[in-house]
Amino acid sequence: MEKKWVIAIHGGAENQSREDLSESKQAAYEQGLENALMAGWHILKEGGSAIDAVEAAVRSMENNPLFNAGKGGSLSEDESNEFDAAIMDGKTMQAGAVAGVKHVKHPITLAKTIMQQSKHVLLCATGAEEFAKSQGLEMKPDGYFKTEEKEKDLKEAQKEEETKGNDTVGAVALDMHGNLAAATSTGGLVNQHPGRVGDTPIIGAGTYANNEVCAVSCTGDGEGILRANVAHEVYALMKYKGLSLKEASSQAMSIYKDRIEGDRNFIALDPEGNVEFSFETSLMFRACKRQDDPAYIAMWREESTINDPEVQLSK
């Protein structure tokens, strides 16, 4: 039997027009997506685990200030960075998560370390930082994470007295051994209240993986995704209603929309290697690579998937 292995990633979803994004910045995003995609793909190609692949892909985006995770993360109203992240192993259904942490260079690696070295699933704030230090994880001063662009974003949001942004990065993968994994990381909202936690580190809301059914990583309105339990909703629709990944993804985007507002965007992957990029915004920074096939890298909704017909785009 042919071994199937695939990785898909997202770098957030936004409502922008092509006029809002310069050609050079679009090219930079595409390069960032390719770098992250290949970081995970090379691990899969060498027979590595889905968990290691999604961690590597997300770490790459945490290093890139274009994405709202790690370096260049959004600033809270007190001008600080607070990071959330989660990772889940579809084989064992073990998970690790971190919320409201500062100074940790790679929140996704802290989440993975919590999964592997702690009896807990979710650690927060100073307790999470102390655990990171005890495990020898790399720490950085406040200035490392801040960028001029994010400081400007904060000033604009404060002037308008609102919170902004819905970007989060994530990855899902299927390895040669048939194991699924999901990972998600975020810097949160611009001008959010200190201590605010979104959907990203909540298992079943923003991140979920189970070998039998699917792996999901979300991005979008964190409060809405939390209330709708979106990642687990995809799983439940497949598990209990017998829907395909495409059908479940479409329904998970719209269920309870009459009561729960906010855009729901996510990537999802099933044990057969089928991929869904589901988003309500005008664009999603996204990429996918299956085995040795050409990489699929896209941003805008209208970008065709014709070169990779098994990659689906839910509307």
Ligand-binding annotation for 84, yes or no, is no
Ligand-binding annotation for 219, yes or no, is yes
CA nearest 37: which of 306, 302, 290?
290
CA nearest 190: which of 237, 156, 220, 219?
156
Ligand-binding annotation for 92, yes or no, is no
CA nearest 266: which of 171, 163, 164?
171
Which letter does DSSP use for residue 257 in this model?
T
Beta bridge partners of 207: 203, 217
Distance CA 185, CA 9 (A): 12
Distance CA 88, CA 84 (A): 14
Percentages helix, strand, coil for the chain (3-state, rounded to 5) are 35, 25, 40
Ligand-binding annotation for 40, yes or no, is no
Active-site annotation holder among 168, 184, 186, 207: 168
Look up residue 241 and give its two tokens.
């209603």
Strand positions, DSSP E, the chain: 6-14, 83-89, 95-101, 122-124, 169-174, 180-186, 207-210, 214-220, 264-269, 275-278, 283-290, 296-300, 311-314
Ligand-binding annotation for 197, yes or no, is yes
Distance CA 50, CA 94 (A): 13
Give the orientation angle of helix 230-241 with respect to helix 245-254, to 10 degrees. Answer: 130
Ligand-binding annotation for 221, yes or no, is yes
Task: Using the structure block, give the residue that is written with the tokens 């979710």.
Answer: 122
Sheet holding 275-278, edge to edge: 207-210, 214-220, 264-269, 275-278, 311-314
Give the orientation angle of helix 50-62 with respect to helix 23-45, to 10 degrees. Answer: 150
Has 113 been annotated as catalytic? Answer: no
Which residues are catalytically annotated?
168
Extract the annotated binding site: 196-199, 219-222
Extract the annotated binding site for substrate: 196-199, 219-222
